[in-house]
Amino acid sequence: MLGVFSSSIISPPDELVAAGCRTPSPKISSTALAKRFADSNTAAVSLQIGDHVHLAFTHHNESPLRPRSLAVKEEIFCLFEGALDNLGSLRNQYGLPKSTNEVLLVIEAYKALRDRAPYPVDHVVGHFSGSFAFILFDNSTSTLFVASDQFGKVPLYWGITADGYVAFADDAGLLKGACGKSLASFPQGISKLGAIFREREREKANGQSRELWGKKSEEICSKQTDSYALVEPVCSQLPPLSPLPFSFF
């Protein structure tokens, strides 16, 4: 699976930028990366969302124990790879029908985080048990949510393309040819990231209901939960990011 996002969605991580500067290497553009994925994977499904997001996946060469899937609901796009061991109990927890698969479950869990905030990210992801990685993009809020299980059973990598896009993929070779040395494993099992959560408050004035949106900044630091990143548009005032445990190539 592949997700490519412009700097208007996510700022390139400083560590990846620095790695590319220390050892310059050939890169290709985000458009060329998406084309390379489509050309090298039979029956690939590809989605272009505006000018800033590209998502793609294929069932070609997928593991039967880690199937890939794509779902779209209410402008929420999600790529999922792997399996949740507790899918049945999660369906019950969120009041979902038995036909709900992993990728739809992730979307519903994210919606609960978004609409019933403030919830910390690990309150949702921490309930997931199994081997998984997913890339979720909410087009209505330009929010990117990326996560993997704490043991890294499903490999996930990220890098920076020649035109400054941040790319996520489960294939290190694909990104290595596109991002050069600006490439690393997505951090597993620990994440220290500044995240912004929306708090929705309802006020009644003159008999009318009015929604006020506020923003609350928190720093998430968990050594026992899954690895995750919740990123809002770079125009938001994020607190400084703490160093991440990268494994560079």
pLDDT digits (tens, 9 = 90+) for 30-74: 999 999 999 888 788 999 998 899 999 998 888 888 999 999 999
Amino acid of residue 111: K
User: What's the predicted TM-score (pTM) here?
Assistant: 0.77
Say what the pLDDT of residue 227 is. Answer: 56
Contacting residues for 66 by C-beta, under 8 A, at least 6 apart: 81, 82, 83, 131, 153, 154
Residue 236 CB coordination number (10 Å): 13
* Number of helices and strands in the chain (H, E): 6, 13
Q: At what angle do helices 87-94 and 102-115 cross, to 10 degrees?
A: 40
pLDDT digits (tens, 9 = 90+) for 79-125: 999 999 999 999 999 999 999 999 999 999 888 877 876 666 667 78
3-state DSSP percent of the chain in helix, strand and coil, to 5: 20, 35, 40
Domain range 2-231, CATH architecture:
4-Layer Sandwich (3.60)
Six-digit token string for 83? 């399996």
Please give the residue that has the higher pLDDT: either 171 or 24. 171
Domain boundaries, the chain: 2-231
Say what the pLDDT of residue 112 is. Answer: 83
Please give the residue that has the higher pLDDT: either 104 or 237. 104
Q: Which residues of 80-101 are buried (b: 16+ CB within 10 A; e: fewer)?
A: bbbbbeebeebbeebebeeebb
Say what the pLDDT of residue 248 is. Answer: 52
